[in-house]
Amino acid sequence: MGTLSEPVPEERKLPTTSAARVALVGVHGFGTHHLRNLERLQASGAVTLVAVADPNPPAPGALPSETAVFSNLDELLAATPALDLVIVATPIQTHAPLALTALPHADLYLEKPPVASLADFNRLQEAAAEAGRSVQIGFQSLGSHALQAIEDLLAAGEIGTLLGISATGRWVRDRAYYKRSRWAGKRSLNGVDVVDGVATNPLAHAIATALRIAGARTLDDLESVETDLYRANDNESDDTSVIRVRTTSGLPITCALTLCATESVEPYITLQGSEGTAVFHYTEDRLSIRGIDGERSQVFGRDDLTENLLEHLRQHHSPDSPPHAAPLISPLADSGAFMGVLEAIRTADAPALIPAQYINWTGDGDSAHAVIAGIEDALERATAAHATFSELGLPWARSAADNPENPSLTVQDLAVQAGGQHDGGPAAGELSGATTVATLQDGTAIAARLSPRPYLHPVRTLGGVTVTDHLPSDHPWHLGAGVALQDVNGINFWGGKTYTRTAGRYEELPDHGRIVQLSAASVPGSRDGNSVQQELSWQAPDGSELLRERRSIRPIQVDARTWRLDLATELTAVVDASLGGPGSNGAAGSGYGGFFWRLPACSAAEVFTAAEHGETDVHGSVSPWLAWTAEFREGPASLVFAGPAEAPDPWFVRLSGYPGVGSALAWNRPVKLAAGEAVSRSFTVWIADGTLTPEDAAGLAAGLSAG
């Protein structure tokens, strides 16, 4: 509680110079930190450690000679009158009963998390108010002076408008960590809630600090909390999770946390601004800013929470109490938002076990720790896109909920390559089962700043090589294979910042539209597999419709290692419309917009047309086809893109910065449509296992022309 609503009784008024009488419950684990801190405070005359309670007595010499030792709190309270402060540093499941026992006798310092359920939190608040006691919660990071600096830089607009907050935690915890106590890694113990997971205990400060920066202190400050929980270790609770929060002001907070990293890295909070970023390493009190005024970094001091609580009590309990006493840094009431997150984790489905093939164990015996394959990249992608692991489509994550209106694309398998024969099986070229080669995402879960829209991902070769990426950390608004434009009547349907001719640069604007899937009908096929017909609505932020799109997607079997994707789009203007992008708005060479294919990370990449080779020469060229060959994670693959028959649109190519290919609808001038007018483009992409030669690519394109 930050203040006392009733006058302090005479018997509780303390001289400002007296040493506070303190008792510590729990002297092991994090209790050893409190012992060291109390030793410091006792040496300065601020406190006297009069008693401790722990069923496992402290080591000889660990306490001042005058400190009494008890096995439990009840015995301590019965034998120790006139306590000023009780510090509770015990297992999570004991916080509620111990705190409720202590409150009638003294003010309270309660380690994090406060309690293991929202119901217990509410009971604790009621008990503190009834007893007229102050309660400080042990989120030590909230004492950092960097938090005031962050508040000041936001007020000054140093990083522009705050768009979102993320927290990233990459720690290592070995098997011994989970064997240190009966409650470690448990969701419950003997029917009592524990909730000892990565987000609620070891990296709880990441969430608490992000919430405080966002101004979310109480449960009423949260609009929603989503969880995506996993475990690599043999325990009950999560050790790798994404927690996504939206405040009532609409600010997204995404916390991506793991105890299964390759190596431990100091956790950090990132403030994502329209004109820059600020990164706060809260364990080091270090703040790094890249904003309008350039880059700077500073290390700040920190207020000790025990000292802050003592000062708060002295001022309130003094006969000469000032009108505005020192507020608590981490009062019980301000943990309400954190408890909303904990409750969402407590009531969520049990964490999903990550399959063994995605886990590497480092070390031996109890010193061994789990490392999840690619976890560092997964954390960065999650925080950049404000996406869950499931939404990222990670191979070890839960599959996103199936939507019958978002069908997969399949092609019929060829049993053997031409000229081959399986014993007892179909002859060469005969049809076998079906292979899923692409999945249609409706994009509804995509963050608003990324311009939500339908897209294809993952797209795979017949041999299982993934050749699309989505929500990458470098450009989280890149979404697989699809159609998007950065400027339709001033509305950004591409995502990210917007390039405007007026500013002559990319700006963060509240101009993001969304492409809404009105329908998606899967049409069964025979040899060619199924096709999809979509009806799409391009809508401005206010919901008004600018364009109506009809999009058709069809997979076609070519041979045993190649299939072909036909995609056609017809954009009809609902109102007079100007279709453009950075290129048409003055950004030379940046004419992206229209059909775009984001490839995943790859090596040994080559991009070429019939006449040009390499990114510099191919980018901006006009050619009937373009080929991309590379080594992907699962093996070598090639893609051949045929330009639209309707117009000689230039190719947009990125290879060195990120892997992507597009066909530019508005390279250097917008497409103007009167209401009711339409523009059409049709594309073909061949997706093949292995590395195609220029002659191979030309042969595929020639076959299309001949057909």
pLDDT digits (tens, 9 = 90+) for 228-274: 999 999 999 999 999 999 999 999 999 999 999 999 999 999 999 99
pLDDT-derived band at 326, boundaries 50, 70, 90: confident
Q: Specify if 37 maps to a domain.
A: yes
| pLDDT exceeds cutoff 80 at 529 | no
Judge if 171 and 187 occupy the same domain.
yes
- Say if 536 falls within a structural domain: no
**DSSP classification of residue 220:** G
Residues 187 and 258 both lie in one domain: yes
Position 526 pLDDT exceeds 50: no
- C-alpha distance across the termini of the chain, in Å: 77
- Banded model confidence at residue 460, pLDDT cuts 50, 70, 90: very high
Mean pLDDT of the region 534-543: 97
* 458 and 554 within one domain: yes
Write down the pLDDT at residue 696: 96
Q: Does 126 lie in the same domain as 189? A: no
Query: How many domains does the chain contain in total?
Result: 3
Whether 105 and 25 share a structural domain = yes
C-alpha to C-alpha distance for 207 and 200, rounded to whole angstroms: 8
Given a cut of 90, whether residue 679 has pLDDT beyond it is yes
Provide the 3-class DSSP secondary structure of residue 307: helix
Are 217 and 152 in a shared domain?
yes
Q: How far apart are CA 607 and CA 230, in angstroms?
A: 39
Q: What's the mean pLDDT when you consider all of the chain?
A: 92
Q: What is the CATH number of the domain that holds 172?
A: 3.30.360.10
Q: How far apart are CA 369 and CA 559, in angstroms?
A: 45
Q: What is the pLDDT of residue 600?
A: 97
Give residue 419's pLDDT: 35
- Confidence class for position 322, pLDDT limits 50, 70, 90: low
Rounded CA-CA distance 409/393 in Å is: 17
133 and 203, same structural domain? no
Residue 637 has pLDDT above 70, yes or no: yes
Average pLDDT over residues 201-224: 98
Give, in order, the Cα–Cα distances in Å from 20 to each of 12, 48, 106, 313, 662. 11, 6, 11, 9, 70
In a domain, 270, yes or no: yes
- 138 and 152 together in one domain: no
Q: What is the CATH number of the domain that holds 14?
A: 3.40.50.720
pLDDT tier, 7 (very low <50, low <70, confident <90, very high otherwise)? very low
Does the pLDDT of residue 324 top 70, yes or no? no
Chain centroid to CA 672: 39
Is it the case that residue 217 has pLDDT exceeding 50? yes
Joined together, the tokens standing for residue 696 give 């191979």
pLDDT score at 389: 97
- Which of 326, 345, 380 is a domain's end point? 380
How confident is the model at residue 226, as a pLDDT? Answer: 98
If you compute the radius of gyration of the chain from its CA atoms, what whole number of angstroms results? 30
Q: How many residues are recorded in the chain?
A: 707
Amino acid making up residue 286: R
| 51 and 197 share one domain | no
DSSP structural state of residue 4: -
Q: Look at residue 134 and tell me whether its pLDDT is greater than 60.
A: yes
For residue 511, give Cα distances in angstroms to 247, 539, 587, 665, 666. Answer: 21, 11, 19, 20, 19
pLDDT tens digits for 61-81?
889 999 999 999 999 999 999
The per-residue pLDDT for 412 is: 74
pLDDT of res. 501: 94
Cα torsion 509, 510, 512, 518 to 10°: value is: -170
Same domain, 46 and 21: yes
The alpha carbon of 457 is separated from its chain's Cα centroid by a whole number of angstroms, namely 19
What's the whole-number mean pLDDT along residues 90-103?
97
What would the pLDDT profile of 365-423 be if each residue is shown by its tens digit? 999 999 999 999 999 999 999 999 999 999 999 985 444 556 789 887 654 333 333 33
User: What is the Cα–Cα distance from 296 to 285, expressed in whole angstroms?
Assistant: 14
Does 531 reside within a domain? no
Write out pLDDT tens, residues 586-601: 999 999 999 999 999 9
Domain assignment of residue 631, yes or no: yes
Q: Is 490 left (phi over 0), alpha (psi -120 to 50) or beta?
A: left
Is residue 133 included in any domain, yes or no? yes
Together in a domain, 328 and 355 = no
Check residue 431 and give its pLDDT: 41
User: What's the pLDDT at 522?
Assistant: 82
354 in any annotated domain: yes
Return the HEC string of 138-194: CCHHHHECHHHHHHHHHHCCCCCCEEEEEEEEEEECCHHHHCCCCCCCCCEECCEEC
Cα separation, 79 vs 74, whole angstroms = 9
Q: How do 20-25 and 85-88 pair as beta strands?
A: parallel
Tokens of 690: 């292995």
Is pLDDT at 574 greater than 90 in this prediction?
yes
Dump pLDDT digits (tens) for 135-152.
999 999 999 999 999 999
Q: List phi, psi (to 5°) of 62.
A: -80, -15
> b/e per residue, 366-379, with b = 16+ CB within 10 A?
eeebbbbbebbebb
pLDDT band at 430, cuts 50/70/90?
A: very low
- pLDDT of 707 over the 70 cut: no
The whole-number pLDDT of residue 61 equals: 87
* Residue 697 is assigned to a structural domain of this protein: yes
Give the domain extent around 184. 144-300+335-380
Residues 159 and 237 occupy one common structural domain? yes
Residues 6 or more apart whose Cβ sits within 8 Å of residue 584: 487, 591, 666, 667, 668, 669, 670
Q: How much of the chain exceeds pLDDT 70, in percent?
A: 91
